Amino acid sequence: MSLRRLFILLALLVCTTLSHAGLLAGSTRVIYNAGERERSLMLANTNDYPVVVQTWIDQGEGNPDNAQAPFIVLPAVFRLQPNGIQGLRILFGGDALPDDRESVYWLNLYEIPPTASETRAPAQIDMAMNTQLKIFYRPAGLTPEPAEAPPRLEFSLRQEGEQWFLQCRNPTPFHASFAGLTVEGDGRVLEAEQEMDMMTSPFAERRYRLGAEPPPAGARLRFWLINDAGFPVEHEAALAR
Protein backbone atom coordinates (compact mmCIF):
# COMPACT_ATOMS: atom_id res chain seq x y z
CA MET A 1 0.00 0.00 0.00
CA SER A 2 1.40 3.41 -0.97
CA LEU A 3 1.82 6.06 1.69
CA ARG A 4 -0.52 8.37 -0.21
CA ARG A 5 -3.22 5.72 -0.10
CA LEU A 6 -2.45 5.17 3.58
CA PHE A 7 -2.97 8.89 4.25
CA ILE A 8 -6.32 8.74 2.44
CA LEU A 9 -7.42 5.73 4.48
CA LEU A 10 -6.28 7.40 7.71
CA ALA A 11 -8.17 10.56 6.79
CA LEU A 12 -11.31 8.56 6.07
CA LEU A 13 -10.88 6.68 9.35
CA VAL A 14 -10.49 9.94 11.27
CA CYS A 15 -13.52 11.46 9.55
CA THR A 16 -15.56 8.33 10.26
CA THR A 17 -14.47 8.30 13.90
CA LEU A 18 -15.15 11.99 14.37
CA SER A 19 -18.50 11.61 12.64
CA HIS A 20 -19.40 8.77 14.99
CA ALA A 21 -18.09 10.59 18.03
CA GLY A 22 -19.83 13.77 16.94
CA LEU A 23 -17.36 16.17 18.57
CA LEU A 24 -15.17 18.23 16.27
CA ALA A 25 -12.26 20.20 17.74
CA GLY A 26 -10.89 23.35 16.16
CA SER A 27 -7.37 21.87 16.20
CA THR A 28 -5.81 18.41 16.42
CA ARG A 29 -3.15 19.61 18.89
CA VAL A 30 -2.48 22.50 21.24
CA ILE A 31 0.88 24.27 21.54
CA TYR A 32 1.06 25.94 24.97
CA ASN A 33 3.94 28.40 25.00
CA ALA A 34 5.53 29.24 28.36
CA GLY A 35 4.24 32.51 29.76
CA GLU A 36 0.79 32.29 28.19
CA ARG A 37 -2.10 32.80 30.58
CA GLU A 38 -4.34 30.31 28.80
CA ARG A 39 -5.19 28.72 25.47
CA SER A 40 -8.62 28.25 24.00
CA LEU A 41 -10.08 25.47 21.88
CA MET A 42 -13.46 25.43 20.17
CA LEU A 43 -15.65 22.31 20.10
CA ALA A 44 -18.67 21.65 17.90
CA ASN A 45 -21.34 18.97 18.33
CA THR A 46 -22.11 17.65 14.84
CA ASN A 47 -24.70 15.19 16.14
CA ASP A 48 -28.41 15.77 15.72
CA TYR A 49 -28.86 15.10 19.44
CA PRO A 50 -27.42 16.70 22.59
CA VAL A 51 -24.43 15.22 24.41
CA VAL A 52 -22.82 15.65 27.80
CA VAL A 53 -19.07 16.25 27.54
CA GLN A 54 -16.52 15.59 30.28
CA THR A 55 -13.04 17.06 29.83
CA TRP A 56 -9.75 16.47 31.63
CA ILE A 57 -6.01 16.47 30.97
CA ASP A 58 -3.72 13.55 31.81
CA GLN A 59 -0.57 11.77 30.68
CA GLY A 60 -2.40 9.59 28.18
CA GLU A 61 -4.15 7.14 30.51
CA GLY A 62 -7.65 8.25 29.50
CA ASN A 63 -8.98 7.85 33.05
CA PRO A 64 -10.23 10.97 34.89
CA ASP A 65 -9.91 9.24 38.27
CA ASN A 66 -6.12 9.04 37.94
CA ALA A 67 -5.50 12.22 35.96
CA GLN A 68 -2.28 14.01 36.90
CA ALA A 69 -1.21 17.03 34.87
CA PRO A 70 -0.12 20.63 35.47
CA PHE A 71 -3.06 21.82 33.37
CA ILE A 72 -6.77 22.21 33.96
CA VAL A 73 -9.49 22.55 31.37
CA LEU A 74 -12.73 24.49 31.83
CA PRO A 75 -15.56 23.72 31.78
CA ALA A 76 -14.97 20.22 33.13
CA VAL A 77 -18.51 19.01 32.39
CA PHE A 78 -21.11 20.60 30.13
CA ARG A 79 -24.07 19.83 27.92
CA LEU A 80 -23.75 20.60 24.22
CA GLN A 81 -26.85 20.95 22.09
CA PRO A 82 -27.11 19.61 18.51
CA ASN A 83 -24.86 21.68 16.23
CA GLY A 84 -23.83 23.67 19.30
CA ILE A 85 -20.41 25.24 19.88
CA GLN A 86 -18.48 25.40 23.16
CA GLY A 87 -15.17 27.08 23.92
CA LEU A 88 -12.68 25.36 26.23
CA ARG A 89 -10.13 27.19 28.36
CA ILE A 90 -6.81 25.42 29.00
CA LEU A 91 -4.88 26.85 31.94
CA PHE A 92 -1.39 26.05 33.21
CA GLY A 93 -1.05 25.53 36.96
CA GLY A 94 2.51 26.83 37.19
CA ASP A 95 4.12 23.51 38.10
CA ALA A 96 7.85 23.14 37.50
CA LEU A 97 8.41 21.46 34.13
CA PRO A 98 11.67 20.86 32.25
CA ASP A 99 12.84 24.09 30.66
CA ASP A 100 15.17 22.46 28.13
CA ARG A 101 12.54 20.48 26.20
CA GLU A 102 8.84 20.16 25.42
CA SER A 103 6.49 18.26 27.72
CA VAL A 104 3.42 16.49 26.35
CA TYR A 105 0.01 15.83 27.91
CA TRP A 106 -3.35 14.67 26.57
CA LEU A 107 -6.64 16.55 26.51
CA ASN A 108 -9.56 14.12 26.82
CA LEU A 109 -12.98 14.88 25.32
CA TYR A 110 -15.37 12.26 26.71
CA GLU A 111 -18.71 12.34 24.93
CA ILE A 112 -21.71 10.82 26.73
CA PRO A 113 -24.73 10.25 24.45
CA PRO A 114 -28.34 10.48 25.60
CA THR A 115 -30.22 7.41 26.74
CA ALA A 116 -32.41 5.47 24.33
CA SER A 117 -35.52 7.18 25.65
CA GLU A 118 -34.06 10.61 24.80
CA THR A 119 -33.34 10.01 21.13
CA ARG A 120 -35.13 8.86 18.00
CA ALA A 121 -32.20 6.67 16.91
CA PRO A 122 -31.02 4.78 19.98
CA ALA A 123 -29.14 2.11 18.04
CA GLN A 124 -26.78 4.72 16.60
CA ILE A 125 -25.66 6.32 19.86
CA ASP A 126 -25.40 3.54 22.41
CA MET A 127 -21.79 4.10 23.47
CA ALA A 128 -19.62 6.84 24.92
CA MET A 129 -16.57 8.02 23.00
CA ASN A 130 -13.29 9.51 24.22
CA THR A 131 -11.16 11.63 21.88
CA GLN A 132 -7.60 12.53 22.91
CA LEU A 133 -5.66 15.55 21.65
CA LYS A 134 -2.04 16.29 22.51
CA ILE A 135 -1.00 19.38 24.46
CA PHE A 136 2.64 20.38 24.03
CA TYR A 137 4.08 22.67 26.70
CA ARG A 138 6.88 24.59 25.01
CA PRO A 139 9.41 26.46 27.21
CA ALA A 140 10.83 29.75 26.02
CA GLY A 141 14.22 29.95 24.35
CA LEU A 142 14.42 26.44 22.91
CA THR A 143 16.92 26.04 20.10
CA PRO A 144 16.82 25.35 17.27
CA GLU A 145 13.51 26.78 16.09
CA PRO A 146 10.80 24.12 15.57
CA ALA A 147 11.04 24.48 11.78
CA GLU A 148 14.78 23.76 11.96
CA ALA A 149 14.40 20.54 13.94
CA PRO A 150 13.48 18.00 11.18
CA PRO A 151 16.89 18.09 9.39
CA ARG A 152 18.61 17.34 12.70
CA LEU A 153 16.86 14.00 13.19
CA GLU A 154 19.21 11.05 12.68
CA PHE A 155 18.13 7.71 11.22
CA SER A 156 19.81 4.33 10.92
CA LEU A 157 18.87 0.76 10.02
CA ARG A 158 19.03 -2.03 12.59
CA GLN A 159 18.50 -5.76 12.28
CA GLU A 160 17.34 -8.07 15.06
CA GLY A 161 16.99 -11.67 14.00
CA GLU A 162 14.93 -11.63 10.81
CA GLN A 163 13.36 -8.25 11.51
CA TRP A 164 14.56 -4.85 10.31
CA PHE A 165 13.98 -1.64 12.22
CA LEU A 166 14.38 2.04 11.56
CA GLN A 167 16.14 3.74 14.45
CA CYS A 168 15.37 7.42 15.03
CA ARG A 169 17.57 9.59 17.22
CA ASN A 170 16.03 12.92 18.16
CA PRO A 171 18.70 15.37 19.45
CA THR A 172 16.25 18.29 19.52
CA PRO A 173 14.06 19.63 22.36
CA PHE A 174 10.88 19.01 20.34
CA HIS A 175 8.70 15.93 19.96
CA ALA A 176 8.96 14.37 16.50
CA SER A 177 5.44 13.22 15.60
CA PHE A 178 5.57 11.05 12.49
CA ALA A 179 2.64 10.49 10.17
CA GLY A 180 4.67 7.95 8.21
CA LEU A 181 8.18 6.73 7.35
CA THR A 182 9.35 4.90 4.22
CA VAL A 183 12.72 3.45 3.22
CA GLU A 184 13.14 3.73 -0.56
CA GLY A 185 15.68 2.45 -3.08
CA ASP A 186 16.08 0.19 -6.13
CA GLY A 187 12.44 0.74 -7.01
CA ARG A 188 11.28 -0.64 -3.66
CA VAL A 189 9.45 1.08 -0.82
CA LEU A 190 9.47 -0.31 2.73
CA GLU A 191 6.97 1.34 5.04
CA ALA A 192 7.37 1.45 8.81
CA GLU A 193 4.49 -0.19 10.63
CA GLN A 194 1.88 2.28 11.82
CA GLU A 195 1.36 2.50 15.57
CA MET A 196 -1.13 4.37 17.71
CA ASP A 197 1.57 6.85 18.67
CA MET A 198 4.43 7.42 16.22
CA MET A 199 6.22 10.04 18.33
CA THR A 200 9.91 10.18 19.24
CA SER A 201 10.48 12.19 22.42
CA PRO A 202 13.07 14.98 22.79
CA PHE A 203 16.67 13.82 23.33
CA ALA A 204 15.53 10.21 22.93
CA GLU A 205 15.64 7.29 20.51
CA ARG A 206 12.90 5.06 19.16
CA ARG A 207 12.66 2.13 16.77
CA TYR A 208 10.06 1.64 14.05
CA ARG A 209 9.52 -1.83 12.61
CA LEU A 210 10.07 -2.29 8.88
CA GLY A 211 9.55 -6.04 8.60
CA ALA A 212 11.60 -8.99 7.37
CA GLU A 213 12.48 -7.71 3.89
CA PRO A 214 16.08 -6.39 3.82
CA PRO A 215 16.28 -2.69 2.90
CA PRO A 216 17.99 -1.97 -0.43
CA ALA A 217 21.60 -0.81 -0.42
CA GLY A 218 21.96 2.95 -0.57
CA ALA A 219 18.34 3.49 0.42
CA ARG A 220 17.08 6.88 1.55
CA LEU A 221 14.39 7.77 4.03
CA ARG A 222 11.24 9.71 3.30
CA PHE A 223 9.21 10.77 6.33
CA TRP A 224 6.24 12.92 7.19
CA LEU A 225 6.26 15.02 10.35
CA ILE A 226 3.14 16.59 11.83
CA ASN A 227 3.69 20.32 12.25
CA ASP A 228 2.27 22.72 14.86
CA ALA A 229 -0.85 23.21 12.73
CA GLY A 230 -1.51 19.46 12.72
CA PHE A 231 -0.59 18.81 9.07
CA PRO A 232 1.95 16.25 7.76
CA VAL A 233 5.01 17.79 6.07
CA GLU A 234 7.28 15.68 3.86
CA HIS A 235 11.04 15.43 4.49
CA GLU A 236 13.95 13.29 3.29
CA ALA A 237 17.06 12.06 5.08
CA ALA A 238 20.09 9.85 4.58
CA LEU A 239 20.27 6.46 6.29
CA ALA A 240 23.18 4.97 8.21
CA ARG A 241 23.65 1.24 8.66
Residue-wise pLDDT tens digits, 158-215: 999 999 999 999 999 999 999 999 999 999 999 999 999 999 999 999 999 999 999 9
The CATH number of domain 20-115+125-138, selected from 3.40.50.970, 1.10.530.10, 3.30.1360.10, 2.60.40.10: 2.60.40.10
* pLDDT: which is higher, 10 or 194: 194
Within this chain, domains 20-115+125-138 and 146-238 share the same CATH topology? yes
The mean pLDDT value of the chain amounts to 89
- pLDDT of 121 higher than 60: no
Q: How far apart are CA 74 and CA 186, in angstroms?
A: 53
Record the pTM.
0.85
25 neighbors 43 (Cβ within 8 angstroms): yes
Q: What is the domain partition of the chain in residue ranges?
A: 20-115+125-138, 146-238
Is 50 exceeded by the pLDDT of residue 24? yes
Least confident of 113-117, 134-138, 168-172, 219-223: 113-117
pLDDT score recorded for residue 240: 87
What is the DSSP annotation of the chain? --HHHHHHHHHHHHHHHHHHH-EEES-SEEEEETT-SEEEEEEEE-SSS-EEEEEEEESS---GGG---SEEEE-SEEEE-TT-EEEEEEEE------SSS-EEEEEEEEEEPPPGGG-S-GGGS-S-EEEEEEEEEE-TT-SS-GGGSGGG-EEEEEEETTEEEEEEEE-SSS-EEEEEEEEEETTEEEEPPP-S--EEPTTEEEEEEEESSPPPTT-EEEEEEE-TTS-EEEEEEE-B-
Residue pLDDT, tens place only, 65-89: 989 999 999 999 999 999 999 999 9
**pLDDT-above-70 percentage for the chain:** 87
Q: What is the pLDDT of residue 127?
A: 76
Q: Which fold has domain 146-238?
A: Immunoglobulin-like (2.60.40)
Predicted confidence (pLDDT) per residue in 56-67, tens digit: 999 999 999 989
User: How would you label 164-174 residue by residue, b for 16+ Cβ within 10 Å and e otherwise?
Assistant: bbbbbbbebbb
Backbone angles phi, psi at 187, to 5 degrees: 75, 10
Over residues 104-122, mean pLDDT: 79
**Whether 135 contacts 58, CB under 8 Å:** no
